[in-house]
Amino acid sequence: MADGSDSEEPWPDNEEKFYNDAKEYWSSINPTVDGMLGGFEKISPTDINGSKAFLRPFLKVGKGTTNNHRALDCGSGIGRITKRLLLPMFDTVDMVEQCQKFLDSARGFIGEQSSRVDQLICSGLQDFTPEEGRYDVIWSQWVLGHLTDEHLVNFFKRCKKGLAPNGIMIVKDNVSGSSETQFDDIDSSFTRSKDSYVRAMMNAGMTILKEEKQKGFPKGLYSVWMFALK
């Protein structure tokens, strides 16, 4: 999350190592909000408020066309976004997360509303296929850097098929300050340029409905952009 653009990180040797290193990193992280946010728990309220303001106009409750029946939280961790953003706005939420330890902590963290969390799916996004036509909103935040370029495009294609009529996908992620993709060998993730994300979305046949920069984060962090796709 912090902008480490001045450092030169070694690029992954191969795809298997790239995914295994990320899995090992996250398995070492405590199942807390601070753990999910890499020590930046303090930004969570600003993050959630920005997401809510971006999403609401697309929903019928905000005079848009998208239903609020079922959402999917991609790379959900313990359910910070599920609890604070999606459950207050949707009837039911599914969560997909590759670290079983985080899913095991999710219902306890979410609390009394956890009965409205339906499926807890343990999977990396490179291996996950949403059920066709199931979701009004697919939310993906701070996780797509853990996919290779090819897997990113294919994941977008699968998500497009997973959307219900008038459904949308929201991508919210770090964006590098240059035109180049940066690699972090600590958590084995890419930070892509905004153009790189847009290219992947276009290559997957997605239409960008809206894009907006998250405001109010501390200096020294990567810029964070939100995209609404269909």
Binding region for S-adenosyl-L-methionine: 75, 80, 125-126, 141
Torsion of CA 2, 154, 80, 192, to 10 degrees: 10
Binding-site residues, in ranges, read 75, 80, 125-126, 141
The token pair that represents 223 in the structure block: 């810029």
Half-sphere exposure of residue 178: CA atoms within 13 angstroms, side-chain side? 8
The token pair that represents 55 in the structure block: 């999403």
Q: Which helix (H) or strand (E) holds 19?
A: helix 15-27
Q: How far is CA 50 from CA 54, 108, 129, 151, 214, in A?
A: 6, 25, 28, 28, 6
Q: Tell me how far apart the alpha carbons of residues 96 and 40 are, in angstroms, rounded to a whole number.
A: 22
